[in-house]
Amino acid sequence: MPTVNSDKPAKVRKNKTARQDITIDDLDAIIDSKKPKKPNAKLLQIVVAAADLFHEKGYGPTTTRDIGEACNISPGHLYYYINSKDDFPAMFRKIQKNNIDKWEKAVRKEIGRVPPDELLKIAVTDYAYLVHRGRRMTVFWYHAAVQVKREDSAGIMEVEKQVVNLFKEILESGCKQGQFHVKDPFIVASNIVMMCQTWALKRWLYKDKRTVDQYVDQILELIDAMVKGQQQSGHKKLRPPVHSTSA
């Protein structure tokens, strides 16, 4: 599937969807190479099963016994791979950080090669499909942030700031070049992130009405109108109704 994990130059591209949020490549990127190597296929099965259970039951109610039963392994066998349930948020955070680092690197390669308006489309498209691929992980963090270790919740907040800051940087560059007309790049950047994440958070609302490709196309149009201003986008500025003060 075309995601920002590709080494090819970033460009606006369509996603063919993935069946699971977490892959062998994700695990390879976060497993400490100094530790003895574990069979990644089994670890992948465990991590995916845990993600499924956290999504269905919630992080708090899910036990390590539940995870072991879902993988058809004993608790003792499960603890060969993990120390406790708290290992999973740490792994999810590292996976998210690794993916966002790759996304940022791919987008930054295009700085100076394409104008800010095209760069914004690239960044939004790739980030939106990254959210789609990890949609269960996005939902997990919104629901479980207050239940996990502080270092994990703080870490995922820093990852989101990383995303917002890159969008903000692109918007500021576009404003300097006269392509964008944005009063507060930080607020607009935050709203762009929220638009992308809404696909995961409101999946129940959109899944029967829009494909991910349709959703991405529509938010690109909305963002284009938002950053280019009312005059550039062709929309008339709405004015509040005038109320008569005559008796």
DSSP state at residue 240: P
pLDDT of residue 69 exceeding 70: yes
Q: What's the confidence (pLDDT) of residue 20? A: 54
Q: What distances in angstroms separate CA 61 from CA 32, 64, 66, 86, one per listed residue?
A: 29, 10, 9, 13
Q: Long-range CB contacts (< 8 A, 24+ apart) of 75-81?
A: 78/46, 80/38, 81/38, 81/42, 81/43, 81/46
- pLDDT per residue as tens digits for the range 91-135: 888 888 999 999 999 999 999 899 999 999 999 999 999 999 888
Please give the single-letter amino acid code of residue 64: T
C-beta neighbour count of 80 within 10 angstroms = 13
Per-residue pLDDT reduced to its tens digit, 220-245:
999 999 998 744 444 444 344 444 44
pLDDT, one tens digit per residue, over 129-182 is 999 988 888 888 888 888 888 888 898 999 999 999 999 999 999 999 999 999
Backbone angles phi, psi at 27, to 5 degrees: -65, -40
Helix, strand, coil proportions of the chain in percent (round to 5)?
Answer: 65, 0, 35
Mean pLDDT of all residues in 34-59: 78
**DSSP secondary-structure letter at 116?**
H
Half-sphere exposure of 136 (CA within 13 A, CB side): 20
Query: So what's the pLDDT on residue 230?
Result: 47
pLDDT score, position 38: 52
- Mean pLDDT along residues 181-188: 95
* Alpha carbon separation from 91 to 82, 110, 195, 237 (Å, rounded): 10, 30, 25, 47
What is the per-residue pLDDT for 206? 81
Q: How far apart are alpha carbons 236 and 214 in whole angstroms?
A: 25
Query: In the prediction, which pLDDT does 34 show?
Result: 42
pLDDT at position 65: 92
Looking at residue 244, its pLDDT comes to 41
Q: What is the pLDDT of residues 169-179, one digit of tens each?
A: 999 999 999 99
Is pLDDT of 246 > 80?
no
Q: How much is the pLDDT for 22?
A: 66
Please give the pLDDT value at position 2. Answer: 37
> When comparing pLDDT for 75 and 25, which is higher?
75
Rounded distance between C-alpha atoms, residue 21 and residue 17, angstroms: 10
**CB atoms closer than 10 angstroms to residue 60:** 12
pLDDT tier for residue 4 given thresholds of 50, 70 and 90? very low
CA distance 82 to 27: 13
Model pTM score = 0.78
Please name each of the domains of the chain with its CATH number. Answer: 20-84 (1.10.10.60), 86-232 (1.10.357.10)
| Average pLDDT for 194-213 | 88
> Residue written as tokens 């008569």?
244
Q: With 50 as the cut, is the pLDDT of residue 6 above it?
A: no
pLDDT at 175: 96
Q: Which of 154, 186, 165, 212 is nearest to 3 (CA)?
A: 212
The residue whose two tokens read 């406790």 is 84
d(CA 210, CA 215): 6
Predicted confidence band of residue 24 (pLDDT cuts 50, 70, 90):
low
